[in-house]
Amino acid sequence: MSEMISGNVNRNSCPSDLRITDIRFTDVVGAPMHCTLMKIYTNQGIVGLGEVRDGANRVFGEMLKSRLIGENPCNVEKLFRRIKQFGYHARQGGGVCGVEVALWDLAGKAYGVPVYQMLGGKYRDRIRIYCDTDVSGKHTGTDMGRALKLRMDKGFTFLKMDLGLGELFGEPGTICAPLGFIDEMHEAGRKAREAQTVEEKRWWRNRSYDLNNIPHPFTGIHLTEKGFDMLEQYVKDVRDVIGYEIPLAIDHFGHIGVEDCIKLCRRIEKYNIAWAEDMVPWQYTDQYVRLANATTIPICTGEDIYLAEGFEPLLQAHGVSVIHPDILTSGGILENKRIGDLAQRHGVAMAVHMAESPVSAYACVHSVAATENFYVLENHSVDVPWWDDMTLGTPKKIVENGYIAVPDKPGLGVDDYNDEVLREHLDPDYPVMWAETSHWDDVYSHDRLWS
């Protein structure tokens, strides 16, 4: 018996003496998003894997290094509380969340247990996956329905698509907006993409940012009755292809006000919509309450919200039926579970947004396996042929028949990143893999939050 127990001990790990020695990053593109991948190294050779959401934000992770070097990564909550002040809503929380994920991976590997076990155990052995589905170019609802039907043929049991202004651009008489405003948005984006100099690119990118980030209530964009007719017909055509028995969620409505959101929801209620996502900015709790009270379609938001307290106003006001955090924005593995537990107390289900690498996917898998009111997890990379190959020690096909199996290997269940595959997809702006980051070792500021 003693030999059997001894054989299960990780002899390379003494968790009490484990210390963080380094943090490094690699950026890849086309997965389909820009992924900033993270490794946290230790004095015992154990490496923790994490990720910064949507790339180009590696500085949000690098700046945390000096606050982590020399610390025991198994003290996950202590370190998270030290660094969580450096996160914020949307992509600004990516560094904190990526570190938190890597710390859990290290703790699991040090103690030889899967992360879900350290969260209290699991409610399920496999995680239901939905994949957001795009159709490029000008297309019809029937075209979208056929694309979704192919998802069903692969075993997916839950679907999502986009519906909104994007389907109406170029259709005369469908959109009412200040004259020239939409053309100006598109032109700024085009010039930013085509700019030849850094200065020109920066100017047009900022111009495009300013135009595209006017909150929905302030754009003056409305749909006409013809526009509503076309969007309703689009949804009907989709349902005619896929049928009415499979859940269909909808996202990316465009920057329209809450009144138009209400009108659109009422038009498409009859098509059994699983949820309507991010119809207005998440900060406008009162508008979410208006919307939720005006339609029978479940209302959903959350991928840009940081920490459990960010979700409290929406939940307390009964403004949503489904929350939809992203683990690389919400605060990481444990905070995401806390968000789910908070939502459960309000009778709200939790779906999870995920458009990153397999490491983030498995971070989600462990978190939601341990969360009772979990609904369904996104995977935005189903059509990326090399996505499954980004990691070592994971199944050849990570998503199988619409599910990801919860792994029982220590940590996240991922051995390492596959450098050979990553090297083929490096971001040209960051061509060195796992470049040293010693210039961040001693960055310091008096950032205590009290006097």
CATH number at residue 98: 3.30.390.10
- Tell me the HSE value of 57 on the side-chain side, using a 13 A CA sphere: 23
| DSSP state letter for 253 | -
Q: Would you state the torsion angle of the CA atoms of residues 192, 254, 237, 296, taken in this order, to the nearest 10 degrees?
A: 160
What's the rounded Cα separation, in Å, for the pair 321 and 315? 9
Each residue's pLDDT tens digit, 265-289: 999 999 999 999 999 999 999 999 9
Any idea what DSSP says for residue 439?
G
Q: What is the pLDDT at residue 56?
A: 54
- Tell whether 121 is covered by a domain: no
Cα 144 from Cα 80, distance rounded (Å): 42
Give 118-137 as a DSSP string: HTT--S-SEEEEEEEE---S
Q: Does residue 225 sit in the same domain as residue 315?
A: yes
CB atoms within 10 A of CB 138: 10
> Would you place residue 174 in the very low, low, confident or very high pLDDT band (cuts 50, 70, 90)?
very high
412 pLDDT band (50/70/90 cuts)? very high
Q: Which helix (H) or strand (E) holds 417?
A: strand 416-417
Instruction: Specify the 3-state DSSP secondary structure of 18.
Output: coil
The pTM score is 0.94
CA angle 7, 8, 11 (to 5 degrees): 80
Residue 146, pLDDT score: 97
Looking at the predicted structure, is the pLDDT value of residue 55 above 90? no
Asked whether residue 378 falls in the same domain as residue 388, the answer is yes
**Residue 200 is assigned to a structural domain of this protein:** yes
Asked whether residue 367 is domain-assigned, the answer is yes
Residue 203, classified by CB atoms within 10 Å of its CB into exposed (0-12), middle (13-18) or buried (19+), is middle
Q: Which of 106, 107, 161 is nearest to 130 (CA)?
A: 161
CA distance 350 to 373: 6
User: Which residue in 276, 246, 273, 32 sits closest to 155, CA to CA?
Assistant: 246
pLDDT at 37: 96
Angle subtended at Cα 303 by Cα 300 and Cα 306, rounded to the nearest 5 degrees = 120
216, 237, 268 - which closes a domain: 216
For residue 206, being part of any structural domain is answered with: yes
Q: Please indicate, yes or no, whether residues 350 and 271 belong to a single structural domain of this protein.
A: yes
What's the whole-number mean pLDDT along residues 411-425?
98
The per-residue pLDDT for 10 is 56
184 shares a domain with 68: no
- What proportions of the chain, in percent to the nearest 5, are helix, strand and coil? 45, 15, 40
Last residue of a domain, one of 216, 243, 264: 216
CB 101 within 8 A of CB 61: no
pLDDT tier, 2 (very low <50, low <70, confident <90, very high otherwise): very low
445 SS3 class: coil
Percent of the chain with pLDDT over 70: 97
Do 36 and 50 lie in one domain? The reply is yes
Q: Is the dihedral angle over the CA atoms 215, 216, 222, 227 positive or is it negative?
A: positive
Statement to judge: residues 34 and 98 lie in one domain:
yes
Residues 192 and 275 in one domain: no
Residue 12 confidence class, pLDDT cut points 50, 70, 90: low
Q: Is there a single domain that holds both residue 198 and residue 299?
A: no
If phi > 0 it is left, if psi is from -120 to 50 it is alpha, else beta; for residue 173 that is: left
User: Is 250 a domain residue?
Assistant: yes
395 and 314 in a common domain: yes
Domain CATH number, residue 305: 3.20.20.120
pLDDT of amino acid 203: 87
Structure tokens at 162: 């986009």
Is residue 449 included in any domain, yes or no? no
Q: Are 291 and 406 members of one domain? A: yes
Per DSSP (E only), the strands in 29-89 are: 35-42, 47-52
**Domain enclosing residue 207, as ranges:** 178-216
- For the cut 60, the answer to whether the pLDDT of residue 9 exceeds it is no
The whole-number pLDDT of residue 208 equals 83
Residue 236, domain member (yes or no): yes
Of the ranges 53-57, 170-174, 184-188, 225-229, the best mean pLDDT one: 225-229
What value does the mean pLDDT of the chain take? 93
What pLDDT is attached to residue 136? 86
Structure token digits, residue 431? 């061509």
Same domain, residue pair 68 and 152? no
pLDDT of residue 11 exceeding 70, the answer is no
Model confidence band, residue 450 (pLDDT cutoffs 50, 70, 90) = confident
The Cα–Cα gap between 88 and 310 comes to 10
> Please, are residues 221 and 249 in contact by the beta-carbon 8 Å criterion?
no
Tell me how many domains the chain contains.
3
The backbone torsions φ and ψ at residue 283, rounded to the nearest 5 degrees and listed phi first, read -70, -20
Q: Give dist(CA 424, CA 387) in Å, integer.
A: 12
pLDDT for 5:
42
> Burial of 246 by CB count in 10 Å (0-12 exposed, 13-18 middle, 19+ buried)?
middle
Kindly state whether residues 144 and 66 are assigned to the same domain. no
The pLDDT value recorded for residue 152 is: 97
Q: Using the 3D structure, point to which of 191, 216, 241 is the last residue of a domain.
A: 216
Q: 37 in a domain, yes or no?
A: yes
